[in-house]
Amino acid sequence: MPPSSAITVDTTGDALSNTPGPFVEAPEYLGGFWVNHVADEATALE
């Protein structure tokens, strides 16, 4: 899938945050990724 289909999941705050796209809004960013093998997108976001 192209990067535009990515969803960024942020768990660093008090609540889980899902942002469409592979980018976060921050002055600095340390990247990394996880590969999750799940049945569908809804399960992954859960």
pLDDT digits (tens, 9 = 90+) for 1-31: 777 777 888 888 888 888 887 666 666 666 6
pTM for the model stands at: 0.47
Count other C-beta atoms under 10 Å from residue 6's C-beta.
Answer: 14
pLDDT digits (tens, 9 = 90+) for 24-44: 666 666 667 778 889 998 888
The amino acid occupying position 10 is D
Helix (H), strand (E), coil (C) string for the chain: CCHHHCEEEECCCCCCEEEEECCCCCCCCCCCCCCCCCCCHHHHHC
